[in-house]
Structures are given as structure tokens and as C-alpha cells.
Amino acid sequence: MPKKFINKFLPDHKTIREQKFLKLFGSMFQDPNLWHLNRHSAAGGFGVGLFFAFWPVPFQMWLAAFAAIPLRVNLPLSVATVWLTNPITMPPIFYGAYKVGTIALGTEAGQFEFQLSWDWLVESVNTIGPAFIVGCLICSVVFGGLGYLSMNLLWRRSVVKTWQQRRVKRRERHSK
């Protein structure tokens, strides 16, 4: 079940390999493990994607892609999972990370009002920045690990369920 479900949303690996801009990287993207969808690669790709989804940087997809390559996990899944944090979900997720950081550092959550200015950004780095960064790091590790374990468990349960269904069908055929 997970493999069929995930395959619906992932692009074809041949289409991705033929992209002109990827030719710059040579054989780096030729490793078949980056494109196969099995329990290890799916769980790893999901975990890597969730890990980088909590990083407050504009190039999360690149980080997830470059981490997926040496880890030999599913590249498209790791990049797609990063989109958990998108412009709609980013404010509540990052506010939650900030709250986790305040708890971890033992500080009190300060009142702040967002302003789109350089002065506000510089001031925020000093006031809410440490709690925010620590919270993002904690959430990255926790949710990346939980994502890996959850996908691994979900995949395993799906395989066991499929085996059990085959066993039942085999028994039904032999009993007729």
C-alpha cells in the first residue's frame, strides 16, 4: 500500500534524470538507490525530508537532496517531504518550534509582533533567535526520527498484511 500510494505522487525517475540542469552533477544522480522505492529508501527519504523541513532556510529542498545522495535514500520523496513547511504551514510550525526552544532553554516566550523590516529581523535574532534555532533543531531531530520510524513501521505493516492476504487466498484455493 505505501509503495503504490507514494508512487502516485512521485515523478518518473527517467524524466528527472533527463533534466538538463541535472547533467551538471554528472553521475551523482545515477545511483539507482536514489530512485528505488523500498522500505529503507522510503523511510530514509521521509526522515531526511522531515529533518530539513524544520530548518528555517530558503533552500530546504537542496539540503534534503544533497543529504539523500550520500545516505542513498529516495531523492524525490526527501525533496517532496520538505514541502510540509510551505507558506501556509510555516507560521504555526515555526511558532511551535519557537515554543519548544523556550521550553528547552528555560526562557519565557516573549511577546512580539511581526514587522517586515530589516530592523525587526536584526532585533529578533537577538531576542527570539536562540529559542527559535534551538526549537528548530530539536524538532528537526525528533520529527525526522519519528518520520523515519513511522514510515518504516507503516511499510512493514503493509508488507505483513499483504503476506497474510496471500496466505488466506492460497488456503482458499487449496481448500476448494
Domain ranges of the chain: 2-175
The answer, yes or no, to whether residue 28 has pLDDT greater than 80, is no
Helices and strands counted in the chain (H then E): 8, 0
Residue 116, pLDDT > 70, answer no
- pLDDT for the residue numbered 133: 92
pLDDT of residue 21: 53
How many angstroms separate the CA atoms of 63 and 117, rounded? 27
Secondary structure class of 128 (helix, strand, coil): coil
What's the chain's average pLDDT? 83
Distance CA 47, CA 82 (A): 10
* Greatest distance between any 2 Cα atoms in the chain: 79
- The residue with greater pLDDT, 84 or 115, is 84
Query: How do residues 121-154 score in pLDDT, each as one tens digit?
Result: 677 777 888 888 999 999 999 999 999 999 999 9
Task: With a cut of 90, say whether residue 104 has pLDDT above it.
Answer: yes
Residue-level pLDDT at 24: 57
Instruction: For residue 49, name the pLDDT band (cuts at 50, 70, 90).
Output: very high
Confidence of residue 3 (pLDDT cuts 50, 70, 90): low
Examine the pLDDT at 13 and tell me if it is beyond 90: no
Average pLDDT on 25-51 reads 82
What's the pLDDT score for residue 97? 92
Q: Are 15 and 23 in contact (CB under 8 A)?
A: no
| Rg (the chain; Cα; Å) | 21
The answer to whether residue 109 scores a pLDDT higher than 70 is: yes
Give me the pLDDT at residue 124, please: 75
User: Which three three-digit cell numbers place residue 74?
Assistant: 529516495
CA gap 16, 158 in Å, rounded: 28
Separation between Cα atoms, residue 72 and residue 68, nearest integer Å: 6
- Is the pLDDT at 99 greater than 80, yes or no? yes
| 42 contacts 131 by C-beta, under 8 angstroms | no
pLDDT of residue 35: 78
